[in-house]
Structure 1
Amino acid sequence: MSVGRIHSWDLSTGVDGPGTRFVLFLSGCPLRCLYCANPDTWKMRDGRSMSADEVMEEIAKYRSFLDAAGGGVTLTGGEPLLQADFTAEIFQRCHEMGLHTALDTSGALGARAGDALLADTDLVLLDIKSFDIAAYHRLTGGDLAPTLSFAGRLDRLGIPVRIRYVLVPGLTDDPVAVDGLAAFVAGLGNVAGVDVLPFHKMATHKYDDLGIPFVLRDTPTPEPELVERVRGQFREHGVPAV
């Protein structure tokens, strides 16, 4: 039985996979996205230690409700693949309970996802931050290649995916980069659609509380026309986008 570092958990509907979900936030992330809504999950040491048994006891309390609501369990963070063995055990045990599983990941650590973990993954919510290599690095501090490699692997395995794309004016709105991503996604046979997520500043207080500079504090949120333009670029490639 494995032990993980857990930030928190919550129930959500409609944003973390189908139906009502038990959403488990794991601590620790290798990226430092400028727009991150959960900077309080960056450091693994800040989470509390919980065994897989303890987590499953919490999930079991909601099992009947999750079944009735057509939902399941979503692991997010942070980055759940930073604790790949723990994630794998939770998903395996969720499947033993008959619960749908969803993995919310940047794909940066996709190589850590073993075949057994992916066999117990019903849906991947794959966050592709940018399709421009330089912009991706400026935005996250990481590299784009591992995420694209992971996307290809998920396609070969036939694991359902929804792409998530956070739209930040001046950072991820470049038409050429969006078009490149749309073309890449259109070439995958396992993508149900793209969620274009407008940048917001609701986590500003978290940065203030943690004493971390919020670099995008003065960046405007995207206008509805820009959001629709980006969604339209995906649709032009035959990719459903909302």
Structure 2
Amino acid sequence: MTTGRIHSWDLSTGVDGPGTRFVLFTSGCPLRCLYCANPDTWHMRDGQSATVDEVMAEIEKFRAFVTAAGGGVTITGGEPLLQPAFTAELLHRGKEAGLHTAVDTSGFLGARATDELLTDTDLVLLDIKSFDATTYRKLTGAELLPSLDFATRLDLLGVPMWIRYVLVPGWTDAPAAVDGLARFVAGLGSVERVDVLPFHKLGAAKYEALGLPFPLRDHPSPAPGLTERVRDQFRAYGLSAY
């Protein structure tokens, strides 16, 4: 039985996929996004060990409820593709249980996702942090190209995607970069929607508890007008943006 490292789980509605979701937070992430709201999921060592059977036993308690609510199970993190075997088995078992399955990922480790894993995935929530490679590197500490390659692969396989874009004033609001991403995403036939997510500081208390500096503690959230402008840029390419 495959064992993984998990942080926690929760129930959500409408954010982590369609309907009410059982959301599993895995431990470990290779990125260090400046605006990360979950620094407590960065390290595998901080998680708790769990088998697939143990996780499925928890999911089973809510299966009838989430199914009736048109939902399913979403695996997020951290970064679920840091533990590809664990994530793959959970997705497969979820499909066997008749649940809608989703993976929330940056796509940076997309090469670790086998075709079999993706066959068991009904939806990928793909967080593309920026379309400017330099900004992406400064914002996350990683490279942009693997995420774009993963998006292209998902499209070739016909895996539905929701693109998630965190809007941070002065970081991800440059019109040219947003336009470039919109053009790229519009060329992917399996993208169902784009979620423009305004930057927030709800995770600030976690940094304080961990004794870590929050890099964007004093940074402003975007004004409603800026958020709508960015959504309109995506809509101008025929995309459904929210």
Q: Under TM normalisation by the shorter chain, which class is it?
A: over 0.9
Say how many residue pairs are matched.
242
Unaligned residue ranges in structure 2 (runs of 5+)? none
Q: Which residue of 1 aligns with 2:182?
A: 182
Give the Cα–Cα distance (whole angstroms) in 1 for the partners of residues 71 and 228 of structure 2.
Answer: 29
State how 1:85-100 maps to structure 2 within 5 Å.
Answer: 85-100=85-100
In the alignment, residue 133 of structure 2 is paired with which amino acid?
A: I
Give the Cα–Cα distance (whole angstroms) in 2 for the partners of residues 220 and 37 of structure 1.
Answer: 15
Sequence identity, in percent? 71
Secondary structure class of the residue paired with 1:91: helix
CA-to-aligned-CA distance 1:79-99 (integer Å, 9 cap, x gap): 000000000000000111000
In the alignment, residue 77 of structure 1 is paired with which amino acid?
A: G
Give the Cα–Cα distance (whole angstroms) in 2 for the partners of residues 11 and 31 of structure 1.
Answer: 25
Give the Cα–Cα distance (whole angstroms) in 2 for the partners of residues 64 and 220 of structure 1.
Answer: 41
Q: Does 1:223 align with 2:223?
A: yes
State how 1:53-92 maps to structure 2 within 5 Å.
Answer: 53-92=53-92
In the alignment, residue 161 of structure 1 is paired with which amino acid?
A: M
CA-to-aligned-CA distance 1:106-136 (integer Å, 9 cap, x gap): 0000000001100000000000000000000
Secondary structure class of the residue paired with 2:214: coil
Cα-Cα RMSD: 0.4
State how 1:54-203 maps to structure 2 within 5 Å.
Answer: 54-203=54-203
Give the Cα–Cα distance (whole angstroms) in 2 for the partners of residues 235 and 123 of structure 1.
Answer: 21
Give the Cα–Cα distance (whole angstroms) in 2 for the partners of residues 180 and 71 of structure 1.
Answer: 32
Give the Cα–Cα distance (whole angstroms) in 1 for the partners of residues 193 and 13 of structure 2.
Answer: 18
Q: Which residue of 1 aligns with 2:210?
A: 210
In the alignment, residue 131 of structure 2 is paired with which amino acid?
A: F
In the alignment, residue 138 of structure 1 is paired with which amino acid?
A: K
| Aligned-pair CA distance for 1:67 | 1.1
In the alignment, residue 153 of structure 2 is paired with which amino acid?
A: R
Q: TM-score, normalised by structure 2?
A: 0.99
Secondary structure class of the residue paired with 2:195: strand
Give the Cα–Cα distance (whole angstroms) in 2 for the partners of residues 138 and 32 of structure 1.
Answer: 10
CA-to-aligned-CA distance 1:131-186 (integer Å, 9 cap, x gap): 00000000000000000000000000000000000000000000000000000000
Unaligned residue ranges in structure 1 (runs of 5+)? none
